[in-house]
Each structure stands twice: as C-alpha cells, then as structure tokens.
Amino acid sequence: MRRQTQGFEYLIPETVEDLQHHECLSFSPTALSYWLGTGEDVRRRSVSGRLQINNGQALRIAALNGMGIVLQSTLLLEEDIQAGRLIQLFPEQGLPSRPMSVVYLPDRYHSTKLRSFVAFLMEHFPPMARV
C-alpha cells in the first residue's frame, strides 16, 4: 500500500516485521526495540531509524512531517489520527502496558495544579498498582 504526504510517496508497512525496513522515530536508543503483541504473543521487535528525540511532542511533529514512523501514546496522537494526518499501523497488535509514576515533594498543602494533574492522570490512564 502506498501513501502520499507532504509531496512525497512512501510504502506503508504491511506487517510488524516490515518495520525494520522503514525509518522509525525513537525517544532513545533503546526505543528502537518495540514491544508489540497481544496476550501471550508479546515480543520485542527491532526497528531502524536515524532520528532520536527525547520529547514526545517533537516526535509527533516529526511524524506529521513524514520523517518516520512513531510509537506514541494514543492520547497524544488521537486527534491527528481522527483528522487523517496520521494513520494507525497494526491496531490489532496492541501494546503492553507501561507503568507511570507521579513524583512530587511531600507537602501538607498540595497545589490545585498538582491535584488537577493527578486527577487527570487517574481519569485518563487505567489503574495499575497505585501506591
């Protein structure tokens, strides 16, 4: 399958294994190895890519500009996917859950901003182990 964007044409990977032949954007050098799969079939898949950016929003912008394939949170990319600016590859593969921590200084008076942020995370991300 071919897709055209920003004035150039490229092939869309048909299988997860095809990712190793495509330019993938990564958050860090270790992110060039994606964990993909569902249930018992979760496996590490190696991919290639020259661009590493340690900022999720910058990775989104790079993907929007056709610089490569990105593995990112649905929360960050949902609007672009719905608008057709990005396409979701392999939705049936799923992604394993990743833990998230909120770390802040102990204080008797937590700011409204902090309480709002924690409430937002609790509402939008499924519960794992909460401490």
Total tally of structural domains belonging to the chain: 1
Is the whole-model pTM more than 0.85? no
How far is the C-alpha of 5 from the C-alpha of 66, rounded, in Å? Answer: 7
**Backbone φ/ψ region at 107: left (φ over 0), alpha (ψ -120 to 50), beta:** beta
pLDDT, tens digit, 9 for 90 and up, residues 58-94: 999 999 998 888 888 777 899 999 999 998 888 777 6
Roughly what angle, to the nearest 10 degrees, separates helices 74-82 and 56-64?
Answer: 20
Residue 69 lies in a domain: yes
CB 49 within 8 A of CB 59: no
Question: At 6, which CATH number?
Answer: 3.40.190.10
Residue 91 lies in a domain: no
Mean of the pLDDT values across residues 96-103? Answer: 74
